Amino acid sequence: MNEVVLEVKNLTAAYQKNTVLRDVNFQVEAGSLTGIVGPNGAGKSTLIKTMLALHPVLSGEVHFFGSTYKKVKKRIGYVPQRGSVDWDFPTIALDVVMMGLYGQIGWLRRPTKTHQRMAFEALDKMGMADYANRQISQLSGGQQQRVFLARALVQNADIYFMDEPLAGVDAATERAIMKILDELKAAGKTVMVVHHDLQTVADYFDHVLFLNRTVIKHGKTNDVYTEDNIATTYGGSIRLIGGRIGNVVHPVKQ
Amino acid sequence: MWSILLNSNTQWVLLSTAILGIAAGTIGSLAYWKRQSLMSDALAHAALPGVIIAFLLFKVKHLFVLITGAAISAVIGAFFIQGIRSSTRIKEDTAMGMILSIFYGFGIMLLTIANRTSGNQSGLNNFILGQSASMVQSDVWTMSILAILVVSIVVIGFKEWKIYLFDRQFASGLGLPLKGMDVVYTILLVTTIVVGIQAVGVILIAALLIIPAVSARYWTHSFQAMVIISALFGGASGTIGTLISAIGNGWPTGPFIVVLAASFFIISLIFGKEKGILVQYWQMKRHKKQEIIQSIPTSVLKKEVQ
């Protein structure tokens, strides 16, 4: 077994009165590519935000590389949901990517030509070189997602958290993003991705974390990605399409 | 007219309102992207009771004393808005509307009392609509230094402010102290408002924060350029407005500054190169023409095939 880079112990988090996450426990090994799956409102985004101190912890502990988040912040990259920012903000794609370098540039200092080149290379890697000077409001959803990913790439972190990077993007963008995720994995980086499309989980991820308010099951995709676990997580019945795990039909409740 | 212009006091006042306008345009751009344009209006109105209370307590009309009172009162207003929003079902816009009118009403009440009870108070009325002519040398200094401080803090941390406004979550991941920046931002906003109230007045100072920023949006797609253009519009409105008021001898400054800012806005709205009305109309027309030209051969071809 590889080195454990992320350890979550008895984590509990809440919004006002509602407890969203209860007693979450899991460990993630270095170099793994994990898909976090679960129904709407299962607490997937909250889990990431809580681990990254963007949401208060009620109880429990989170350890990165055997240390606290604060001490290893620089080794952690985060790709928020695309909808979390205002894309009307007056700036260009290259500038957004450059934000990933701010920690490296140093506070209150100006970016140099080298930083600009690094940002441009990251955009190029995402197939966005032609759009470097494009106003971000004029980019399509998929292009905006690529810009976000390029920004995470320049951070050169050791562990990445991505909140639905594949939501609402076209097939070409999905392929481009998955290629990058595989490359990150090959480079020994650890990646955790909130994912919605159950059809592609087995193809994309080597580990799966089933989440519904707490960890339902976590492990190697081959071992845990079963109909039973999906049914337990989603609390509904599932249909099989062509022998593969397909759409989930869940009863309307709550 | 020229005698007024050549007067050294007028020149100083002009310079200080120019700097004030620049500071307001700069902070206004931040407020615009923080979606807090209306907040500045609420804070400005909330500053009035503080001015009068400071005067009643210390019996002096020294600008620094009065604007300290104004700042305290504005911050209390901000806390109330925050408190109402987080602990009741009342939404933020309603909370701002409540605080704005209650504090302003309270301020006018205190002003009436102050006018009745103490003698030398005529200058206090100037805080409502602004009267730059009433400013003395020390006021000019206080105002200019504070406004320059505000602009410097924005300029020094420009790239940090940018990510703070664009993507808070990512900024937090980079290790930016968001809570601290919130405090600094509020201090900058309140400082700009209170240093401006003598020249522009509590009712209209918010316009100097809001209008230059929205006007600048029509000229650029870059945040840096937006801040600079907004500062220029603010500075020009401040200077020219003060000039007109000085020539008019005793006219209130605030309304002229705001009318000038509004003129810049209308010019930007119509002629602005980014989504200005004329440019959009022209682009649309040109696009239509191209589409028509392109579609002619295909439609002709189709008919021949049929």
Close Cβ partners of A48 (under 8 Å, ≥ 6 residues apart): A36, A78, A161, A163, A192, A194
pLDDT of residue A105: 87
pLDDT of residue B80: 95
Which stretches does DSSP call E strand in A53-102?
59-64, 76-79
Judge: A102–B226 Cβ closer than 8 Å, yes or no. Answer: no
pLDDT of residue B120: 60
Domain ranges of chain A: 4-84+157-249
Size of interface A-B (CB pairs under 8 A): 66
Fold of B2-275: ABC transporter involved in vitamin B12 uptake, BtuC (1.10.3470)
Give residue A129's region: left, alpha or beta (phi > 0; psi -120 to 50): alpha
Measured CA angle at B36 (ends B161, B69), to 5 deg: 95
Q: Is A127 exposed, middle or buried (0-12, 13-18, 19+ CB in 10 A)?
A: middle
From the list B159, B169, B220, the residue facing A80 with the nearest CB is B169
Closest CA to B232 of B189, B201, B261: B261
The CATH superfamily label for domain A4-84+157-249 reads P-loop containing nucleotide triphosphate hydrolases (3.40.50.300)
Q: Cβ(A212)–Cβ(A38) under 8 Å?
A: yes
pLDDT band at B121 (very low <50, low <70, confident <90, very high): low
A245 pLDDT more than 70: no
Mean pLDDT of all residues belonging to chain B: 89
Each residue's pLDDT tens digit, B41-89: 999 999 999 999 999 998 888 888 999 999 999 999 999 999 999 899 9
Closest residue, chain B, to A76 (C-alpha) = B173
pLDDT of residue A168: 85
Judge: A78–B170 Cβ closer than 8 Å, yes or no. Answer: yes
* Cβ-based contacts of B219 with chain A (< 8 Å): none
From the list B167, B175, B220, the residue facing A90 with the nearest CB is B220
Sequential DSSP letters for A201-218: HHHH-SEEEEESSSEEEE
pLDDT of residue B155: 95
A67, amino acid identity: S
* Cβ-based contacts of B226 with chain A (< 8 Å): 90
* Cβ-based contacts of B227 with chain A (< 8 Å): none
Residue A15 pairs with which residues in a beta bridge? A18
Alpha-carbon distance values, B5 to A43, B284, B301 (Å): 66, 47, 72
What residues of chain B, 218 to 237, have a C-beta less than 8 Å from chain A? 220-223, 225-226
Judge: A84–B169 Cβ closer than 8 Å, yes or no. Answer: yes
* Cβ-based contacts of B159 with chain A (< 8 Å): 102, 105, 110-111
In this structure, which long-range contacts are made by residues B75-84, counting pairs with CB atoms below 8 Å and at least 24 apart in sequence?
B75/B186, B75/B190, B76/B46, B76/B50, B77/B42, B77/B43, B77/B45, B77/B46, B77/B47, B77/B103, B78/B39, B78/B42, B78/B43, B78/B46, B78/B186, B78/B190, B81/B39, B81/B42
* Cβ-based contacts of B167 with chain A (< 8 Å): 80, 84-85, 99
Each residue's pLDDT tens digit, A79-118: 999 889 999 999 999 999 999 998 888 888 888 899 999 9
Q: Which residues of B31-70 are buried (b: 16+ CB within 10 A; e: fewer)?
A: bbbbebbbbbbbbbbbbbbbbbbbbbeeeebebbbbbbbb
pLDDT of residue B2: 66
Each residue's pLDDT tens digit, A9-48: 999 998 877 889 999 999 999 999 999 999 988 999 999 9
Domain ranges of chain B: 2-275
Judge: A85–B166 Cβ closer than 8 Å, yes or no. Answer: yes
From the list A52, A85, A102, the residue facing B159 with the nearest CB is A102
Q: Which residues of B141-172 are buried (b: 16+ CB within 10 A; e: fewer)?
A: ebbbebbeebbebbeebebbbbbbbbbbbbbb
Residues in chain A: 254
B196 pLDDT more than 60: yes
Each residue's pLDDT tens digit, A149-193: 999 999 999 999 999 999 888 898 999 999 999 999 999 999 999
pLDDT of residue B67: 92
ipTM of the complex: 0.85
* Three-state DSSP state, B135: coil
* Three-state DSSP state, A166: coil
**Disruptive mutation site among A79, A102, A133 for chain B (greatest number of B CBs within 10 Å):** A102
Judge: A84–B220 Cβ closer than 8 Å, yes or no. Answer: no
Closest CA to B132 of B54, B8, B241, B264: B241
Judge: A80–B162 Cβ closer than 8 Å, yes or no. Answer: no
> CB-based contact (8 Å) between A129 and chain B?
no
Percent of chain B topping pLDDT 70: 94
pLDDT of residue B130: 87
pLDDT of residue B304: 52
- Phi and psi at residue A210, to the nearest 5°: -85, 125
A253 pLDDT more than 60: no
- Phi and psi at residue A126, to the nearest 5°: -90, 10
Each residue's pLDDT tens digit, B232-281: 999 999 999 988 888 877 788 889 999 999 999 999 999 998 888 999 89
Percent of chain A topping pLDDT 90: 67
> CB-based contact (8 Å) between B173 and chain A?
yes
Closest residue, chain B, to A89 (C-alpha) = B166
What is the rounded CA–CA span in Å between residue A148 and residue B242? 46
What average pLDDT does range A127-138 have in this prediction?
93
A240 pLDDT more than 50: no
From the list A99, A110, A111, the residue facing B170 with the nearest CB is A99
Residue A237 pairs with which residues in a beta bridge? A249
> CB-based contact (8 Å) between A80 and chain B?
yes
Judge: B163–A85 Cβ closer than 8 Å, yes or no. Answer: no
pLDDT of residue A248: 53
A251 pLDDT more than 60: no
pLDDT of residue A242: 45
> CB-based contact (8 Å) between A103 and chain B?
yes
Rounded to a whole number of angstroms, the distance from the CA of B166 to the nearest CA of chain A is 6
Judge: B221–A92 Cβ closer than 8 Å, yes or no. Answer: yes
The CA R_g of chain A, rounded to the nearest whole Å, is 18
Rounded to a whole number of angstroms, the distance from the CA of A135 to the nearest CA of chain B is 7
Closest residue, chain A, to B174 (C-alpha) = A103
* Cβ-based contacts of B163 with chain A (< 8 Å): 99, 102
